[in-house]
């Protein structure tokens, strides 16, 4: 595709006139009419129109509806003056019974020579007389703004139509219509991802922000060099594949629904509207009619194997960072602030939000002279995370030492009975039974391409030190009480699709190997006790349970953030229902539930970590007022009166 230099200076009306005159310079419209919306067009029999409109409303990212015509209407007054949909697209596709039969440059299929007046009138109605035209937003509309923001538009640079791919993601069906999502791919330098996201987020009618950033295989795309529509666009060094929902999804809907006759634009040859490419009212600040900065999504890496990023609004990020500061309180004066890394909580919550099957492990047998030897820090935080994950539809498995299996099973049963845990969860143990034991545990049939789980969480779990032993904070070796669950975290590093989190308050917990150097130099007995096994995210807290509570609250914030939920659902589902919101809120940690959970542990003879007291305390700190105050503050930060992200109307 090579556009003449002066075409990009013409108005949409001038370009439509050239298209109507069959100007050979215009075959695709990428790079043209910058600053104006472009539109995908689908023309369907009238009896299918209501179903297709419902399909658009259910899938707003790929099918942002700009205008639905009346039956037989060939103009579109809200979008363009003096337009004629029969002539104002450079190339059309014609479908019969769901098959593409030909492409044409006009839908005026007959000459007017030697026709009677009545024949001409009928002919003017022609093939559209009992059909409805749908005009859908197009990503070409934001390419000019990407360039202004300094983001290279590789397809324009390379003189090619944008690459479009059929995915394995299924759209939400409606009536006669069901089909896979189609996406466009534009390479973006990693350093400019936030800029690309912000620019496109501002125009949801041009598909809005990306629906996936990273490895194309996560969308079921296995070869970027073979697009299903358009042309291959080559990545440059340092580029990341960024995918936007695409209006060509509508063509897939035609192919699957098999109407007797239908028309569409040819992919890349769009209808040019007179509508400026401006921010939607959904993302404007009502006080000053400017885009609300706090609603702008930010881009964060979630996984490097496979490469995956996620999106979350600035408002939600600020709240999760507030949670992270709250749990960093150190009333026990253990010096945990020295180990703090910003956004470890956020990254862990994002990875968990994208997960489907989570393993949680806990257990620190610091009281080796007592039976049971475990402490009250760990299980409450594990249960709090589990119940929120279950509420969000995740599968959860609890992993424990064999010596503690029956006790933990009884604790889980009691948590379910008292309403602390949403529902029962399976409990497993792991023992080192050979070189492939970890791989066989984590993956179906030991096949690393088929992981059973996609996230492992360790909270207040004894971590293996550099010398292979396990130490409590007093430097006493408790290896004889600990099963080698660390091996699973080590094996997970080499299995694509499994991410890990460690939560700790001293540096000797599983996963804290990410902070090993800090622990060795800054924590008491650090050179001896420091865990040598790292996790992808290392959450530090004054008490590890607080980290678990914060994860539960962070997951709630992500799933009530429209920017994140839209990205998570590929823009294909409406906002969370009232019932879902109520369920998520009910499954947040609370003072009442956590007090009940701690009371259960005490009844089972489990003691406070620092003092060994069999009492309502954790790490020597009494539940009231210390732990109850932290829980209250976490809930206030999560549910407080600070501005919440309003759900955009195009997402409801």
641 pLDDT higher than 60: no
Tens digits of residue pLDDT in 449-502: 999 999 999 999 999 999 999 999 999 999 999 999 999 999 999 999 999 999
Give the model's pLDDT for residue 284: 44
Tens digits of residue pLDDT in 215-230: 999 999 999 999 999 9
137 pLDDT higher than 50: yes
Give the model's pLDDT for residue 291: 56
Least Cα distance to 594 among 537, 642, 553, 556 occurs for: 553
643 pLDDT higher than 50: no
Please indicate whether residue 343 or residue 27 has the higher confidence score (pLDDT). 343
Give the model's pLDDT for residue 650: 32
Alpha carbon separation from 513 to 125, 234, 313, 364, 624 (Å, rounded): 73, 39, 30, 16, 32
Q: Residue 397 contacts by C-beta under 8 Å, 6 or more apart in sequence?
A: 357, 358, 359, 360, 425, 426, 427, 428, 453
β-strand partners of 177: 174
Give the model's pLDDT for residue 115: 38
For 380-401, what is the mean pLDDT?
Answer: 98
- Asked, as a colleague might, if the bond just before 533 is cis with ω within 30 of 0, I would say no
Cα-trace Rg, the chain:
29
Tens digits of residue pLDDT in 32-56: 888 889 999 999 999 999 999 999 9
* Spatial distance between the Cα atoms of 539 and 505, rounded to a whole number of angstroms: 9
Lowest mean pLDDT segment, chosen from 63-67, 174-178, 643-647: 643-647
196 pLDDT higher than 90: yes
Give the model's pLDDT for residue 5: 52
Q: Residue 209 contacts by C-beta under 8 Å, 6 or more apart in sequence?
A: 197, 200, 201, 244, 297, 311, 563, 566, 567
Q: Cβ atoms within 10 A of the Cβ of 122, count?
A: 12
Give the model's pLDDT for residue 516: 97
Tens digits of residue pLDDT in 399-445: 999 999 999 999 999 999 999 998 999 999 998 888 999 999 999 99
111 pLDDT higher than 50: no
Give the model's pLDDT for residue 31: 81
- Write down the mean pLDDT value for the chain: 91
Least Cα distance to 28 among 108, 139, 136 occurs for: 139
- Identify each DSSP E strand in 246-381 by its residue range: 262-265, 271-276, 284-285, 290-291, 297-304, 307-313, 357-363
Burial class (CB in 10 A: 0-12, 13-18, 19+), 208: buried
φ, ψ of residue 562 to 5 degrees: the values are: -55, -35
Please indicate whether residue 590 or residue 281 has the higher confidence score (pLDDT). 590
Lowest mean pLDDT segment, chosen from 28-37, 81-90, 361-370: 28-37
Of the chain, the percentage scoring pLDDT greater than 70 comes to: 92
Q: And the tokens for 589? A: 């940690």
Q: And the tokens for 69? A: 């015509």
Please indicate whether residue 571 or residue 389 has the higher confidence score (pLDDT). 389
Q: Residue 117 contacts by C-beta under 8 Å, 6 or more apart in sequence?
A: none
Of the chain, the percentage scoring pLDDT greater than 90 comes to: 83
Lowest mean pLDDT segment, chosen from 3-17, 354-368, 440-454: 3-17
Give the model's pLDDT for residue 282: 53
Give the model's pLDDT for residue 298: 97
For tokens 């658009």, the residue is 56
β-strand partners of 439: none
Give the model's pLDDT for residue 127: 59
Q: And the tokens for 184? A: 């466009």
Q: Residue 523 contacts by C-beta under 8 Å, 6 or more apart in sequence?
A: 334, 335, 338, 339, 506, 507, 529, 530
Alpha carbon separation from 144 to 8, 153, 165, 480 (Å, rounded): 10, 9, 22, 64
For 314-326, what is the mean pLDDT?
Answer: 97
186 pLDDT higher than 90: yes
β-strand partners of 362: 459
H or E element in which residue 639 lies: helix 628-639
CA atoms within 13 A on the CB side of 329: 16
β-strand partners of 613: none
């Amino acid at each position: 595709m090579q556009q003449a230099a002066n075409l990009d200076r013409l108005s949409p009306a001038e370009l439509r006139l050239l298209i109507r005159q069959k100007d050979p310079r215009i075959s695709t419209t990428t790079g043209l009419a910058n600053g104006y919306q472009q539109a995908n067009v689908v023309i369907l029999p009238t009896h299918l129109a209501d179903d297709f409109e419902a399909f658009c409303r259910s899938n707003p990212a790929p099918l942002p509806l700009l205008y639905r015509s009346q039956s037989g209407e060939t103009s579109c007054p809200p979008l363009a003056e003096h337009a004629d949909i029969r002539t104002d697209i450079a190339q059309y596709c014609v479908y019969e019974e769901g098959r593409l039969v030909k492409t044409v440059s006009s839908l005026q299929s007959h000459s007017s020579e030697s026709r009677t007046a009545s024949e001409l009138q009928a002919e003017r109605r022609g093939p559209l007389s009992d059909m409805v035209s749908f005009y859908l937003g197009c990503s070409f509309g934001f390419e000019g703004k990407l360039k202004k923001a300094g983001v290279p538009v590789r397809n324009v640079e390379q003189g090619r139509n944008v690459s479009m791919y059929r995915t394995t993601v299924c759209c939400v069906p409606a009536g006669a219509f069901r089909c896979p999502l189609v996406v466009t791919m534009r390479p973006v330098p990693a350093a400019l991802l936030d800029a690309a996201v912000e620019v496109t987020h501002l125009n949801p009618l041009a598909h809005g922000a990306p629906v996936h950033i990273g490895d194309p295989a996560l969308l079921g795309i296995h070869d970027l060099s073979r697009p299903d529509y358009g042309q291959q666009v080559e990545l440059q060094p340092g580029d990341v594949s960024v995918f936007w929902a695409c209006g060509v999804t509508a063509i897939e809907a035609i192919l699957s629904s098999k109407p007797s006759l239908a028309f569409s634009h040819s992919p890349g040859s769009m209808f040019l509207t007179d509508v400026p490419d401006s921010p939607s009212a959904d993302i404007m600040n009502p006080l000053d009619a400017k885009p609300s900065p706090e609603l702008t999504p930010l881009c964060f890496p979630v996984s490097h194997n496979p490469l995956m990023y996620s999106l979350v609004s600035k408002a939600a990020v600020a709240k999760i960072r507030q949670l992270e500061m709250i749990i960093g309180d150190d009333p026990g004066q253990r010096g945990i602030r020295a180990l703090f890394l910003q956004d470890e909580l956020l990254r862990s919550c994002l990875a968990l939000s994208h997960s489907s099957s989570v393993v949680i492990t806990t257990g620190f047998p610091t009281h080796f002279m007592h039976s049971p030897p475990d402490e009250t820090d760990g299980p409450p935080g594990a249960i709090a995370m589990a119940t929120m994950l279950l509420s969000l539809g995740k599968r959860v498995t609890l992993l424990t030492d064999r010596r503690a299996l029956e006790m933990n099973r009884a604790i889980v049963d009691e948590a379910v009975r008292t309403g602390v845990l949403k529902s029962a969860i399976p409990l497993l143990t792991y023992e080192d039974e050979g070189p492939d034991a970890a791989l066989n545990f984590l993956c179906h049939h030991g096949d690393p391409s088929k992981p059973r789980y996609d996230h492992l969480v360790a909270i207040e779990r004894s971590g293996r030190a550099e010398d292979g032993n396990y130490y409590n904070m007093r430097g006493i070796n408790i290896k004889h009480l600990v099963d080698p669950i660390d091996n699973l975290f080590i094996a997970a590093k080499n299995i694509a699709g499994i991410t890990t989190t460690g939560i700790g308050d001293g540096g000797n917990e599983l996963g804290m190997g990410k902070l090993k150097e800090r622990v060795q130099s800054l924590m008491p007995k650090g050179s001896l006790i420091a865990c040598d096994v790292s996790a992808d995210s290392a959450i530090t807290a004054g008490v590890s349970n607080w980290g678990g509570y914060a994860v539960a609250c962070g997951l709630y914030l992500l799933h009530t953030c429209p920017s994140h939920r839209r990205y998570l659902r590929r823009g294909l589902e409406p906002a969370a229902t009232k019932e879902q919101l109520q369920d998520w809120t009910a499954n947040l940690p609370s003072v009442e539930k956590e007090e009940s959970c701690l009371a259960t542990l005490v009844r089972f003879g489990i003691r406070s970590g620092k003092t060994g007291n069999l009492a309502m305390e954790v790490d020597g700190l009494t539940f009231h007022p210390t732990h109850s105050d932290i829980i209250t503050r976490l809930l206030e930060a999560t549910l407080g009166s600070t501005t919440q992200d309003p759900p955009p109307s195009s997402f409801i």
